[in-house]
């Protein structure tokens, strides 16, 4: 083979290598582009939380007046508000301003107080809860309540959570076990008590008892959770755990919380309603209420000038 033939053969080999390398590079680039397109498509189709402005209404309160003492004492004056789904709404205001009264009106807990009366309407699930013939027991199943002071039943941890489902006719042991575990997990209590489910609930700490009460409410599969100052009797660490829990639960529930703590309202809520002397002074996104309130009374209360 002559030197010229060898050179031609070598050049052909180099050209082949370059061609093969270029083809592989192009293939790699095409595949990379496909992966990028796939990632973008996946990103675009990934479920996103609806912005607050586009969420539906969970609770609608229209022209509500409320009376104690057989109509002799008016506690609420023409309350109007719409509470959005899967949000946390904080009710703030000084003692006696009506925030707990309106909260308890949502699931008709005020019916238990003699001599009370409500005018107007509160719409939950597109129905006025004060219409004649409303099944109040069912309403309280769909609208759970957590009270200011933890009130576990004097029975085991397991029986506390299973109490509601059993009363609704759930008898299957496996189903009850699942409900108890799911509810305790959602209440961030499962890891603390899973080995002590048969122990008395009264042996738990104050913070654990309050989370147990939340688990008990969750076990009824409500759509709405009402919380009346749920951390007022707790220490700062237990309070933080409940607040973290509230932020997680709003993905599944609509939460309304009454609180005297401005810091707590700012930390956990999406919307804040300020009540004063039975009137709803202002209701808006929490950030706006705390940074740029419309009403001077709101500004004065938040800044600590009164209340």
Contact 152, 201 (CB under 8 A): yes
Residue 264 lies in a domain: yes
- 245, two tokens: 């829990």
What tokens does 119 get? 């005018």
pLDDT of residue 2: 52
Residues 40 and 155 reside in one and the same domain: no
Which tokens sit at 147? 């009270």
Distance, in Å, from the CA atom of 189 to the CA atom of 150, rounded to the nearest integer, reads 15
121 is a domain residue: no
Residues 155 and 268 in one domain: yes
156 and 104 within one domain? yes
User: Are residues 137 and 36 part of one domain?
Assistant: no
| Ramachandran sector of residue 221 (left: φ over 0; alpha: ψ -120 to 50; beta: rest) | left
Assigned domain for 80 exists: no
Global pTM reads 0.82
* Predicted pLDDT at 55: 86
pLDDT of residue 158: 98
Give yes or no for a contact between 208 and 216, defined as CB atoms under 8 angstroms apart: no
Kindly give, in sequence order, each residue whose CB lies less than 8 Å from that of residue 35, ignoring residues fewer than 6 positions away.
Answer: none
Same domain, 35 and 158: no
pLDDT recorded at residue 96: 94
How far out from the chain centre does Cα 187 lie?
A: 12
Which pLDDT score is estimated for 7?
A: 46
**Beta-bridge partner residues of 279:** 276
Identify the H or E element spanning 3: helix 3-45
Q: Which residues contact 225 (CB under 8 A, 6 or more apart)?
A: 143, 144, 145, 146, 214, 217, 218, 249, 253, 254, 255, 256
Q: What is the DSSP letter of 68?
A: E
Task: Let me know if residue 122 belongs to a domain.
Answer: no
**Are 191 and 288 contained in the same domain?**
yes
Closest CA to 87 of 254, 265, 272: 254
* Distance in angstroms (rounded) separating the CA atoms of residues 111 and 298: 30
Question: Most distant CA pair in the chain: distance in Å?
Answer: 120
Which residues share a beta bridge with 91? 258, 273
Show the tokens assigned to 288. Answer: 């706006």
Do 29 and 106 fall into the same domain? Answer: no
One domain, residues 131 and 256:
yes
pLDDT score, position 53: 78
Q: Tell me whether residue 65 is in a domain.
A: no
Between CA 20 and CA 22 the distance in angstroms is 5
Residue 59: both structure tokens together? 């609770």
208: CATH: 3.40.50.300
- Which pLDDT does position 128 carry in this prediction? 97
54: in domain = no
Whole-number Cα distances in Å, 188 to 130, 173, 238:
34, 22, 12
Surface-to-core class of residue 242, CB atoms within 10 Å of its CB (0-12 exposed, 13-18 middle, 19+ buried)? buried
* In contact, 59 and 123? CB cutoff 8 Å: yes
pLDDT at 21: 44
| Same domain (yes/no): 187, 254 | yes
Q: Per residue of the chain (307 residues), give pLDDT as tens.
A: 554 454 454 444 444 444 444 444 444 344 434 444 444 444 444 456 788 878 899 999 999 999 999 999 999 999 999 999 999 999 999 999 999 999 999 999 999 999 999 999 999 988 999 999 999 999 999 999 999 999 999 999 999 999 999 999 999 999 999 999 999 999 999 999 999 999 999 999 999 999 999 999 999 999 999 999 999 989 999 999 999 999 999 999 999 999 999 999 999 999 999 999 999 999 999 999 999 999 999 999 998 887 6
Number of domains the chain contains: 2
The answer to whether position 76 is within a domain reads no
Contact predicate 59/256, CB 8 Å:
yes
Same domain assignment for residues 91 and 185:
yes
Distance set, CA 279 to CA 92, 253, 276 (Å): 12, 26, 5
Q: Which pair of tokens denotes residue 290?
A: 């705390």
58 within domain boundaries: no
Domain range for 11: 1-48
Are 103 and 194 in the same domain? yes
Q: Does 238 lie in the same domain as 132?
A: yes
């Amino acid at each position: 083979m002559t030197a010229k033939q060898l050179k031609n053969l070598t050049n052909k080999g180099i050209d082949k290598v370059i061609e093969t390398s270029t083809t592989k590079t192009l293939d790699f680039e095409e595949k990379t582009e496909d992966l990028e397109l796939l990632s973008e498509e996946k990103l675009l189709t990934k479920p996103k939380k609806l912005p607050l402005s586009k969420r539906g209404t969970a609770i609608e309160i229209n022209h509500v007046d409320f009376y104690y003492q057989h109509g002799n004492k008016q506690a609420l004056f023409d309350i109007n508000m719409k509470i959005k789904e899967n949000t946390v709404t904080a009710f703030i205001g000084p003692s006696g301003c009506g925030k707990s009264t309106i909260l308890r009106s949502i699931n008709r807990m005020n019916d238990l107080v003699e001599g009370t009366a409500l005018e107007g309407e509160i719409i939950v699930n597109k129905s006025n809860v004060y219409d004649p013939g409303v099944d109040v027991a069912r309403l309280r199943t769909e609208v759970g309540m957590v009270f200011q002071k933890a009130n576990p039943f004097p029975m085991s941890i397991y029986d506390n959570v299973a109490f509601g489902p059993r009363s609704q006719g759930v008898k299957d042991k496996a189903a009850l076990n699942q409900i108890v575990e799911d509810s305790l997990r959602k209440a961030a209590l499962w890891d603390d008590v899973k080995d002590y489910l048969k122990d008395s609930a009264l042996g738990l700490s104050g913070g654990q008892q309050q989370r147990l009460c939340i688990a008990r409410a969750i076990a009824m599969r409500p759509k709405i959770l009402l919380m009346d100052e749920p951390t007022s009797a707790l220490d700062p660490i237990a309070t933080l755990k409940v607040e973290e829990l509230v932020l997680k639960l709003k993905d599944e529930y609509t939460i309304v919380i009454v609180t005297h703590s401005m810091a707590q309202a700012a930390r956990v809520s999406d919307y804040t309603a300020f009540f004063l002397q039975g009137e709803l002074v202002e209701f808006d996104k929490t950030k706006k209420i705390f940074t740029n309130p419309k009403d001077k009374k709101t500004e004065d209360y938040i800044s600590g000038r009164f209340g």
